Amino acid sequence: MAKKLYIGNLSYETNADRLKEVFSEAGAVETASVITDKFSGRSRGFGFVEMTNDEDAQKAIDMFNEKEIDGRKLIVNEAKPMTPRDNN
């Protein structure tokens, strides 16, 4: 089963293709996305990578957490499930 990773402290120049390219060094990447601001379209400095299995996900965490990519030290850990927002 695929495991989703949170990737924080991304350079604003890093895009989804670059993220997929880097993380494919640790194993098979299903998806990679960089979260952007809905108004400006600019990166918000974080994203998500979905690895195909738990072993590759753990390898990616070990390889890339605190590693410098595109001039920034990444924060890589397992993504937490999204919690519902209260729209009051």
Q: Which of 10, 5, 13 has the alpha carbon at shortest distance from 31?
A: 5
Angle between helices 54-64 and 16-23 (to 10 degrees): 100
The answer to the question of residue 47 being in a domain is yes
CATH code of the domain covering residue 22: 3.30.70.330
Work out the average pLDDT over 8-24. 96
Residue 83 lies in a domain: no
Assess if residue 46 is contained within a domain.
yes
What per-residue confidence (pLDDT) applies to 67? 97
- For residue 74, the enclosing domain spans 3-78
Q: How many domains does the chain have?
A: 1
pLDDT in tens, 40-50: 999 999 999 99
Q: Look at residue 86 in the predicted model and tell me its pLDDT.
A: 77
Residue 26 burial by Cβ neighbours in a 10 Å radius (0-12, 13-18, 19+): buried
pLDDT at position 54 over 80: yes
Does any domain span residue 85?
no
Output the average pLDDT for the chain: 94
